[in-house]
């Protein structure tokens, strides 16, 4: 894994050299799938970076030899900046300030990445350089507008990457690629050398593989820039308290656009945050949503015109049709609408701030769903707008955000966003660490803990969440252990004559799992069960002695079917009389 910590350890231990590692990655980048990069640095430029680093010790710089990718609306000296519009291209003599800071710390930029043109989109397909591929979910959008930066990291081509985030462009790709996405407080990172989308709202964002890397990179890049009129010095902020609260929108304000798997995944994330020590508080999300609508329905859409509208009008056909439609609307409202928009935003912020004051942070989905590429191509504006449901308000309300991966929604990537006040960036990282440590356990049960069976109440008392039913791979045999007041089955793996068995999957917090596991009697134990789809989960397996003392009931393929053949007196007992069963 190309984390900063791992790569630095390899350099400092002499296990590899900066030349060997970066040459390998440069070659891999040049052979990467289409749609990730717009341009790479030249071999001569790479040599300049390598020559400088080889004169230094790996211990001398905090980011010595760490490779990164740069979104192509962020200047990198000597490399064209296109903002995904070839006719707009220019070659800067100086890098953006955030890039300068990273290079000074020893990091090496490998190239410029693909993006939704002029940073206008959340899908990763609005580019003449092609649709960015989603490594984790082929056929689905990679998220935008910082699509190539996220994809380069997800494809193992660098250790971190830079994006921008005005309306969610640094968070949606993080969610769809299972990355950490830092949307810093406005002005915390310099935007000097960045092609603006909405100058008053733009942020440079960071994609990282781990929370630790995100913290290192934030520390390296958070600097007041006197040459950036929108730069702000970070005040001192108190750490996240030991007892803390997190806000969640009301159920009727949560929107998943028909994606039940995403809804279930968010419910699990909320329980996980509670297991991490947070107290859930329901908040009114309406003022946040009202502010979000102002981004494209209010005067701020004309800030995009101020950035590149003149270029688009003077270069007919240079911009993609969907981008031109968004940035150059047909009608111009009366100038007084700018002030009405500002008044409305201030009203929304006052109400949103009051809701945020009730808690230490908010927890929301990063996106309410994920779409297939074909779906977005057929309905580009509406579906793109849906992806911004939980993101568009953030910079308008001057909040910090941190997008982190959560448990998958079925087989699709899913992430949540932690939202805090301006300059609460460090508090959000701390909350994310607590969330990570509270990772739940998924357990497969196949006997007396199944729904409707005598000991199912134990799972309910432990707060277990039902995830669904499944079948084991056809590599097991089942034996009925009938001693005790409640019969129970034992699964034994076999290399021949195996059968599939019905199981139910439950999610348990770390504490609940420990209490549950402590009750397991011999000859039962915990082990990895293989499911029919090839995945593996924790489940109850038997010792080989179970085959000697138990009855082979493999022909039933379902413990409940076997139980139905028994008389009630044989198996039904007070569920509190025995707690050691599967």
Q: ω before 210 within 30° of 0 (cis)?
A: no
23 is written with which tokens? Answer: 């040459």
Does 411 qualify as catalytic in the annotation? no
> Is the separation of the CB atoms in 181 and 205 below 8 Å?
yes
411 burial via Cβ count (<10 Å: 0-12, 13-18, 19+): exposed
Active-site annotation holder among 95, 145, 185, 554: 145
pLDDT confidence of residue 576 = 36
**What's the pLDDT at 86?**
98
Residue stretches of the chain with pLDDT short of 70: 567-582
190 is an active site residue: no
CA pair distance 179, 513, nearest whole angstrom:
27
Catalytic residue status for 71: yes
3.10.490.10, 3.40.1190.20, 3.40.50.10860, 3.30.2130.10: CATH of 441-571: 3.10.490.10
Give the number of other CB atoms < 10 A from CB of residue 505: 19
pLDDT computed for residue 567 by the predictor: 58
pLDDT at 75: 98
- The pLDDT of residue 412: 96
- Mapping DSSP to helix (H, G, I), strand (E, B) and coil, where does residue 241 land? coil
CATH number among 3.30.70.270, 3.90.1300.10, 3.40.50.300, 3.90.1150.10, domain 4-437:
3.90.1300.10
Residue ranges, comma separated, of all CATH 3.10.490.10 domains in the chain are: 441-571
pLDDT score of 50: 98
The beta strand positions in 250-308, using DSSP E, are: 278-283
Residue ranges matching CATH 3.90.1300.10 in the chain: 4-437
Given the residues 127, 147, 169, 231, select the one marked as catalytic: 169
The answer to whether the beta carbons of residues 116 and 123 sit under 8 Å apart is yes
How far is Cα 383 from Cα 431, in angstroms, rounded to an integer?
Answer: 31
Cα 108 from Cα 71, distance rounded (Å): 14
Query: pLDDT value at position 582?
Result: 45
Q: Out of 71, 112, 349, 488, which one is annotated catalytic?
A: 71
Question: For residues 519 and 521, what is the distance between their CA atoms, to the nearest angstrom?
Answer: 6
Calpha distance 461→204 (Å, rounded): 46
For the beta sheet containing 488-493, the strands, ordered from the edge strand earlier in sequence to the opposite edge, are: 488-493, 476-481, 551-552
Q: Which tokens go with 153?
A: 């990291």
């Amino acid at each position: 894994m190309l984390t900063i910590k791992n790569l630095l350890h390899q350099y400092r231990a002499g296990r590899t050299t900066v030349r060997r590692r970066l040459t390998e990655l440069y070659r891999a980048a040049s052979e990467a799938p289409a749609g990730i990069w717009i341009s790479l640095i030249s071999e001569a430029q790479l040599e300049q970076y390598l020559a400088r680093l080889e004169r230094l010790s790996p211990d001398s710089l905090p980011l010595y030899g760490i490779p990164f990718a740069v979104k192509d609306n962020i200047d990198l000296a000597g490399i064209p900046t296109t903002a995904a519009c070839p006719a707009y291209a220019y070659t800067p003599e100086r890098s953006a300030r955030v890039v300068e800071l990273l290079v000074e710390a020893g990091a090496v930029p490998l190239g410029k990445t693909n993006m939704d043109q002029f940073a206008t989109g959340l899908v990763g397909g609005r580019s003449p350089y092609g649709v960015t591929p989603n490594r984790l979910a082929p056929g689905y959008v990679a998220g935008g507008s910082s699509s190539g930066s996220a994809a380069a990291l997800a494809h193992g081509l660098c250790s971190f990457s830079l994006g921008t985030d005005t309306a969610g462009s640094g968070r949606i790709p993080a969610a769809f690629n299972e990355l950490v996405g830092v949307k810093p407080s406005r002005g915390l990172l310099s935007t000097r050398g960045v092609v603006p989308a909405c100058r008053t709202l733009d942020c440079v964002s960071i994609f990282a593989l781990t929370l630790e890397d995100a913290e290192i990179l934030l520390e390296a890049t958070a600097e007041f820039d006197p040459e950036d009129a929108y730069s702000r010095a970070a005040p001192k902020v108190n750490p996240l308290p030991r007892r803390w609260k997190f806000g969640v929108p009301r159920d009727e304000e949560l929107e998943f656009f028909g994606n039940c798997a995403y809804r279930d995944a968010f419910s699990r994330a909320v329980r996980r945050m509670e297991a991490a020590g947070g107290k859930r508080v329901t908040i009114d999300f309406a003022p946040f949503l009202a502010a979000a609508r102002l981004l494209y329905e209010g005067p701020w859409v004309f800030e995009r015109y101020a950035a590149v509208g003149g270029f688009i009008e003077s270069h007919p056909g240079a911009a993609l049709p969907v981008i031109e439609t968004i940035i150059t609307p047909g009608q111009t409202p009366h100038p007084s609408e700018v002030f009405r928009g500002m008044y409305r935003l201030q009203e929304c912020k006052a109400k949103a701030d009051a809701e945020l004051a009730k808690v230490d942070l908010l927890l929301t989905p990063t996106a309410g769903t994920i779409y297939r590429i074909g779906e977005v191509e057929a309905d580009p504006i509406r579906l793109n707008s849906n992806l911004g449901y939980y993101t568009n308000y953030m910079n308008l309300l001057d909040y910090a955000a941190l997008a982190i991966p959560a448990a998958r929604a079925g087989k699709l990537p899913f992430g949540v966003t932690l939202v805090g006040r301006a300059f609460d960036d460090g508090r959000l990282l701390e909350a994310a660490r607590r969330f990570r440590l509270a990772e739940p356990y998924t357990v497969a049960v196949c006997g007396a803990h199944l729904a409707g069976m005598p000991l199912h109440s134990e799972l309910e008392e432990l707060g277990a969440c039902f995830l669904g039913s499944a079948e084991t791979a056809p590599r097991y045999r089942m034996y009925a252990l009938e001693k005790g007041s409640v019969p129970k089955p034992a699964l034994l793996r076999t290399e021949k004559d195996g059968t599939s068995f019905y199981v139910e999957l439950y999610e348990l917090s770390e504490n609940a799992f420990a209490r549950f596991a402590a009750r397991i009697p011999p000859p039962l134990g915990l082990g990895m069960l293989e499911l029919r789809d090839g995945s593996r989960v924790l489940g109850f397996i038997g010792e080989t002695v179970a085959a000697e003392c138990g009855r082979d009931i493999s022909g039933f393929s379902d413990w409940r079917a076997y139980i139905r053949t028994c008389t009630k007196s044989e198996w039904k007992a007070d569920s509190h009389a025995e707690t050691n069963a599967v």
